[in-house]
Amino acid sequence: MESELKDLNSRPPNGSSARDDRPLLKSESLTSADSIAEMEKKFAAYVRRDIYGTMGRGELPPKEKLLLGFALVTLLPIRVVLAVTVLLFYYLICRVCTLFYAPNQEDEQEDYAHMSGWRRAVIVSCGRALSRVMLFIFGFYWIPESNSASQGDKQQPEESDRPGVIISNHVSYLDILYHMSSSFPSFVAKRSVARLPLVGLISKCLGCVYVQRESKSSEFKGVSAVVTDRIREAHQNESAPLMMLFPEGTTTNGEFLLPFKTGGFLAKAPVLPVILRYHYQRFSPAWDSISGVRHVIFLLCQFVNFMEVIRLPIYHPSQQEMDDPKLYANNVRRLMASEGNLILSDIGLAEKRTYHAALNGNNSLPSVLHQKDE
């Protein structure tokens, strides 16, 4: 579960408390049209292009203001009540199913994803159904899905067609709800998620692998090993939960595909590429450069939201790709970009932080923002 964007909007780089009414650009930094155009070209993968403008703070036309005002007092409260009700209901289901059941403890991880019998069946079936209900509440009334038969010149072997991990592009937190409704996989999440009210127990039932993002010492390597083991287990054991990874490491505006991290490809197991696309006319559901609270409010105020899903065939790596995880990741990335009409970009989370800092008028950026993740 990606939360870099939430951190960026709630905690600026210099450690001061964030305010949503800060200027997008300071006069002494990037004020000219040429400078803004140059910045948007450089950070194109994170630029919002809907009518709500940069950071969702653009000047709205009168018609949009009227629609937004009407939705704020009618549609928004109804959807909030329904969404909270669904969340509470599923939490109670998870609480009942995990009563008197000890969680799986392994490598400083804790989960209920390895339970069997009626408990696991109820958690999975209810989780998938209620995730789809949640998407319906958010305005995704129908989600067209299509299967792509193309996989270049690769020949799939006669072995089992069960992948070890689902690989998806990352556009919004809504991606997680879709994948929960589709296959109910395990995600990688911040360790703090496990301690959150309601969501913490649900994440354990999903079988999330927890990572301490602030630490990239021996513990980071341990989490990588846990993910690799989970992927191999899912490929070999049909009763094991699938892993779900967003190898880009952060969200984009949905038009680009960032470089893939290799963690999901170290297990040498087949992967299932899935492409998510969000279409819009007014507000874009992409969570790129906008605060979490503002995004949720605008999303819930939009009567209809659109998502399209493209499923590619299971990608079986060649021997050369098994020996070179980076090659494996790059080949899957190029295939997804081709099938999803996505633009390949070479920027990442460090550039997103730089872009957000510039939008919020922060000229002095810590050196850590310019360090690319491994």
Output the 3-class SS for 146-185. EECCCECECCCCCCCCCCCEEEECCCCCHHHHHHHHHCCC
**Residue 3 pLDDT exceeds 50:** no
Q: Lowest-confidence range among 25-29, 163-167, 184-188, 329-333? A: 25-29
Q: What is the mean pLDDT of residues 95-104?
A: 90
Q: Cα 169 to chain center, whole Å?
A: 8
pLDDT at 346: 94
Give me the DSSP letters along 31-57: -SHHHHHHHHHHTGGG---STT-GGG-
Scanning the chain, the segments in alpha helix (DSSP H) are 4-10, 33-42, 62-73, 75-97, 118-137, 174-182, 199-206, 218-236, 292-300, 319-323, 325-340, 349-359
pLDDT band at 86 (very low <50, low <70, confident <90, very high): very high
pLDDT at 150: 60
Dihedral of CA atoms 174, 180, 182, 187 in degrees, nearest 10, equals: 100
**Residue 51 pLDDT exceeds 90:** yes
**Residue 374 pLDDT exceeds 50:** no
CA–CA distance from 53 to each of 50, 164, 177, 207, 355 (Å)?
6, 39, 26, 37, 15
Q: What is the mean pLDDT of residues 149-175?
A: 76
Q: How many CB atoms neighbour CB 33 within 10 A? A: 8
How wide is the angle at C-alpha 57 spanned by C-alphas 74 and 78, nearest 5°?
Answer: 15
In this prediction the pTM is 0.84
Token pair listed for 129: 């159904």
CA 307, CA 254: separation in Å to the nearest integer? 11
CB within 8 Å of 70: residues ≥ 6 apart: none
**Of 254, 272, 263, 69, residue with least CA distance to 160:** 272
**Residue 218 pLDDT exceeds 90:** no
> pLDDT tens, 36-48?
778 888 999 999 9
pLDDT band at 12 (very low <50, low <70, confident <90, very high): very low
pLDDT at 316: 95
Token pair listed for 363: 């000229």
The answer to whether the CB of 291 falls within 8 A of the CB of 299 is no
pLDDT at 30: 43
pLDDT at 365: 46
CA 188, CA 228: separation in Å to the nearest integer? 12
pLDDT band at 109 (very low <50, low <70, confident <90, very high): confident
Q: Which residue has the higher pLDDT, 110 or 62?
A: 62
Dihedral of CA atoms 170, 172, 175, 176 in degrees, nearest 10, equals: 110
**Residue 241 pLDDT exceeds 70:** yes
Token pair listed for 76: 């928004």
pLDDT at 27: 38
CA 167, CA 169: separation in Å to the nearest integer? 7
pLDDT at 13: 41
**Of 52, 54, 2, 116, residue with least CA distance to 301:** 52
pLDDT band at 115 (very low <50, low <70, confident <90, very high): confident
Q: Which residue has the higher pLDDT, 216 or 259?
A: 259
Q: What is the mean pLDDT of the chain?
A: 84
Token pair listed for 269: 């197991």
> pLDDT tens, 288-322?
889 999 999 999 999 999 999 999 999 999 999 99
pLDDT at 216: 52
Within 13 Å and on the Cβ side, how many CA atoms surround 332?
A: 38
> pLDDT tens, 314-371?
999 999 999 999 999 999 999 999 999 999 999 999 999 988 888 887 654 443 333 3
